[in-house]
Structure 1
Amino acid sequence: MALYITDECINCDVCEPECPNGAISAGEEIYVIDPNLCTECVGHYDEPQCQQVCPVECIPHDPNHKESKDDLMAKYKIITAAMG
């Protein structure tokens, strides 16, 4: 499933550059994750990089966007093909 950023976000700017899919951007008040671009770093890394660097641990799984590892890999292939 995709990830999302909660209201605990402190806008520290460390997650955005870590996202290999460009899914994280500055929102009106806090950073946001585009669920259409989030693959939890499947295809790139073993662990979601934004979760690894977040100092306040405010990036949980999004229960509104449930996806299997196979779904995330399929999304990764579509995204990387579009970027290529």
Structure 2
Amino acid sequence: MAIKITDECINCGACEPECPNNAIYEGGVEWAIADGTSVKGAFVLMDGSTTDANTRHEPLAVDTYYITANKCTECQGFHEEPQCAAVCPVDCCVPDEMYRETVDELLAKKDKMHL
């Protein structure tokens, strides 16, 4: 399952550079699939809709850092554990119950983003 950042976030920014998928954004910043990935052209999001990889999407949070589940792979294929959770000083990077994915699904998502 994807990771989410809870309201306990202190906006330290330690998590953002650790994400191998560039799935973590500062509050208020728009996100795109192409950011930090090799994706070009059409990309199918988790809700089944299709977007262009370069399309900017509304921020998921305004006041704190956030993780877009469409890009989060829990660091599968890169690290033994989610790096955001490993470096978070207040333990606010936790599993997101809304996005349950198997390890195989997370690895397939990683492979789609990093050709």
| TM tier, smaller | over 0.9
Query: Aligned residues, how many?
Result: 81
Of Structure 1 and Structure 2, the greater strand share is in 2
Q: Which has the larger radius of gyration?
A: 2
How does the TM-score come out when normalised to structure 2? 0.69
Deviating above 2 A after TM superposition, structure 1's stretches of 4 or more consecutive aligned residues are none
* Offset, 1:41: 0.2
Q: Among 68, 71, 76, which residue is 1:37 paired with?
A: 71
| Structure 1 or 2: more helix by fraction | 1
Return 5+ residue gaps in structure 2 as ranges.
28-61
TM-superposition CA deviations, 1:23-77 (whole Å, max 9, x none): 0001110000010100000011111000000000001100100000000000010
Shift of residue 15, structure 1, vs aligned partner: 0.2
Fraction of identical pairs, as percent: 53
CA distance in 1, matches of 2:104, 2:23: 19
